[in-house]
Structure 1
Amino acid sequence: MNILVAGATGKTGRQVLQYLMDQGHQPTALVRESSDTGDLPHGVNLRSGDLADLPSDVCDNMDVVIFAAGSGGNTGAEMTDRVDRDGAKKLVDIAGRSDVKRFVMLSSVGADQANPTGDLAHYLKAKHDADAHLKASGLTYAILRPVALTDDDRHQEVTLGDAVDKSATASRADVAHLLADAAINGCLDGQAVDMQSA
């Protein structure tokens, strides 16, 4: 499968790429011209594009899109809106016009709330709006909402859905594998699920 990965140079995105390649698929990393691609897996395809200003052909010839991008924890509200909300929505729109068969979204626990509160309210609102846009797009979708991310190794099992402890953690390795599996085999099609590492 031809799979476009947005956020490919991030900690989670790099692991998504590697897992897809290990499974025999051909991922393409969506990268800005200024991105450091030195840590990407050897042999991965590159496609130039900035989530703040995406070209209309960015999803051409792609079977699946994985959105694993994020503005980062140290950016302000404006960048959060540009990347996590507007960038995601724009990529969904382009995917819908490009015969993409499935769109897999990395979201966040708490993004199911239309009017979140607390320190992460703005971020969660941006994620909520992006998730809602994807659900309404007509695309086959999967939305993964992990709890707090860690750099731990992969676990043997993960917990999904209502049984998730919102105060638990999720390893990026587990998140990456589940995003890739959802992209490849549709195991989360039509779902928006919370997730933690077991």
Structure 2
Amino acid sequence: MRIVIAGGHGQIALRLERLLSARGDEVAGIIRNAEQGDDLRDAGAEPVVLDLESASVEEVAAQLRDADAAVFAAGAGPGSGAARKDTVDRDAAVLFADAAVRAGVRRFVVVSSMGADPAHQGDDVFDVYQRAKGAADAYVTGLDALDWTILRPGALTNERGNGLVRLEARTGRGSVPRADVAAVLAELVESRATAGLTLELISGSVPVSVAVKSVAGN
């Protein structure tokens, strides 16, 4: 498979790129800063320098043509202000989805956030983030041209992943290592039977592959 990842230098994305390239997939990661390219190459991915905050739909679609799947894993990051939650977490996700439609890429996986909701209340930056993620999710799920899956992890940690998770429509609050999020994403990209599902993810007791097969069969 050829898989294009938006936010290719993110902590989850780099882990995902290693997993995908190790199993023989062709991976490209979209980054804004060319200096990050070596990190992607080390992970087995082709760096594509493109700013999703200023690029056109056609420019992004050109990078998605001939891809089998697209993963939106971009984010403004914890140190960014409210404005970039809208321009990256919401607008860039919408742009990437529109570009996937334009390029004819049906399989589309989004890394969202547990609690994402376009009607989320509050004025703090995290509240803006939850609204932005929720609005992006709502837009993607309204596109019939995409076989979308929305993944909403709980609190992210850098602990070593153990490959044991809880993946359900509703899990309740919890944490999950970024390594396990990447492992789930690698499975979801291939599992078109999970299309149309919005899933929450926390650490649990079920092996990743079993958890994905379980939700796909429901």
| TM-score bucket of the superposed structures, by smaller chain | over 0.9
Query: Partner residue of 1:147?
Result: 154
List alignment gaps of at least 5 residues for structure 2: 205-218
1:1-198 to structure 2, matched below 5 A, reads: 1-42=1-42, 43-55=44-56, 56=58, 57-111=62-116, 113-118=117-122, 119=124, 120-138=126-144, 139-162=146-169, 164-166=171-173, 168-198=174-204
Considering fraction of residues, name the structure with more helix: 2
What letter corresponds to residue 150 of structure 2 in structure 1? I
| Distance (whole Å) between structure 2 residues aligned to residue 49 and residue 182 of structure 1 | 25
Identity across matched positions, percent = 33
Q: CA RMSD in A?
A: 1.6
Bigger shift: residues 127-136 or 54-63: 54-63
Q: Which whole-Å CA distance do the structure 1 matches of 2:142 and 2:121 have between them?
A: 24
In 2, distance between residues paired with 1:103 and 1:156? 23
Aligned length: 196
Q: Which amino acid aligns with 1:48?
A: V
Is residue 167–residue 199 contact of structure 2 (8 Å, CA) maintained in 1? yes
The answer to whether the 8 A contact 2:112-2:151 is kept is: yes
**Structure 1 residues without counterparts, runs of 5 or longer:** none
- Residues 2-32 of structure 1, C-alpha deviation per residue, up to 9 Å, x if partnerless? 1001111111110010011111101111122
Scaled by the length of structure 1, the TM-score of the pair is 0.92
One-letter amino acid of the structure 2 residue matched with residue 114 of structure 1: P
Aligned partner letter, 1:54: A
User: Does the CA-based 8 Å contact 2:118-2:133 persist in structure 1?
Assistant: no
Structure 2: distance between partners of 1:79 and 1:12 = 19
Q: Any conservation in 2 of the 1:54–1:91 contact (CA below 8 Å)?
A: no
Q: Output the CA distance in 1 between the equivalents of 2:193 and 2:72.
A: 16
1:165 shift after superposition: 2.9
Distance 1:65 1:162, change over 3 A: closer
Runs ≥4 residues deviating over 3 A: none
Distance in 2 between the 1:163 and 1:81 partners?
26
TM-score, with structure 2 as normaliser: 0.84
Please give the per-residue CA displacement for 1:97-117, whole angstroms capped at 9, x wherever unaligned.
Answer: 111020000000001x33113
